[in-house]
Amino acid sequence: MACHPTRPVPRHPVLRIIPLLPVAAAAALGLAPLPPATVEQYYARGIYPWLQARMTTWSNAIPFALFDVLLVTTLAVLGVIGFRAIRRGRRGRSWHRVASGALAAVSVVATAYVWFALMWGLNYRRLSIDERLGADPGRVTSDAVLALGERAIVEVNRRYAPAHARGFPDVHDVPADLVGAFHETERMMGRPRPFVPGHPKRTLLDLFFRASGTDGMTAPFFLETLLNAGLTGPERPIVLAHEWAHLSGLAPEADASFIAVLAALRADVSSQYSAWLSLVMDVASRLPSAPRSQLTERLEEGPRGDWALIVARLQTRVRVVERVSWLTYDRYLRSQGVDEGVVSYSRVIELLIATDALSAID
């Protein structure tokens, strides 16, 4: 009896369209962005707070980072798709199978992008802090920056002893004082409901964090908080507040740092010290050599030692990893409409001065 090879059953045309749907959705989100006022009204003040409360409550109940699982799974799926497409293409001498595999991979990536945008990424399209608070750029002068640095030096020296006597949170703690201060700051900013703080988790990315100098990350897919386990004690409160600001719906780095500083300065003395120390370092990084030296030499021995520990931690970075990661992140920020890229981190000083936000801080 003669055997005839079985012909593959052709797929229904509708099934061929399915992989294109997430690609079309991703293209629509990327190429036809919603107006900031619309995003602010319906997403940032409506959908997102409701979504964040539920997703973070659920992800907090899982002891490990769901982002790690998603990352490993996605890389495995893409690897399998690529391997099978190339193997079938070589066997059948038909590269349309390779093209089909490429489309499947693009569909997976597009699905991840749509998930990212709807879960958190649309916060990049919000009205900026500048617009919402009526910031006055005319207030930002070299004298104003130096004055902020001088005030930060005084506050750091004054709070060093009580902050260290109280102690700093562990890298996985959720400090109650900082949560309360953050909720107070949210109310002042007009958020319709308090955010649910993410419990800092261990992550497979910790080695990358250390090598690249990354302090932490808000994992957008499950709205989790991930921190660099190598952070020094005085760094932890302000870094945690920064990641919580992202979780609260502030995507741009300067906006998140702005809210983090205001929240930390309303919390316990350890959080206050952490915030002022970060401002000393931020201001110093903006000053020319001579005024920077004149400013920092006024630091007392205790805060100077904390600064040295932070510098020592950062010196363990791997330069190639750091350079590539920051270049990648810079391009990512620009693709999300943050024109300054990673330079936007330094804008927190300008925001604090332009909004006169620290005038109400004791």
Chunked mean pLDDT (size 10), the chain, 362 residues: 50 59 76 84 93 97 94 85 69 62 77 88 87 84 90 96 96 95 92 93 93 93 95 97 96 92 96 96 87 89 95 88 72 61 66 87 76
- The pLDDT value recorded for residue 31 is 74
Residue type, 14: V
DSSP string, 152-171: HHHHHHHHHHHHHHH----T
Q: Are 191 and 166 in contact (CB under 8 A)?
A: no
- The pLDDT value recorded for residue 1 is 46
- The pLDDT value recorded for residue 342 is 45
- Token pair in block for residue 147: 């004055």
Q: Are 247 and 222 in contact (CB under 8 A)?
A: no
* Separation CA 221–CA 306 (nearest Å): 34
* Separation CA 327–CA 229 (nearest Å): 23
Residues ≥6 apart with Cβ < 8 Å to 340: 333, 347
The Cα-based distances of 252 to 30, 91, 203, 255, 340 in angstroms read 17, 48, 23, 5, 10
* Separation CA 41–CA 35 (nearest Å): 10
Residues ≥6 apart with Cβ < 8 Å to 71: 204, 205
- The pLDDT value recorded for residue 321 is 81
- The pLDDT value recorded for residue 17 is 65
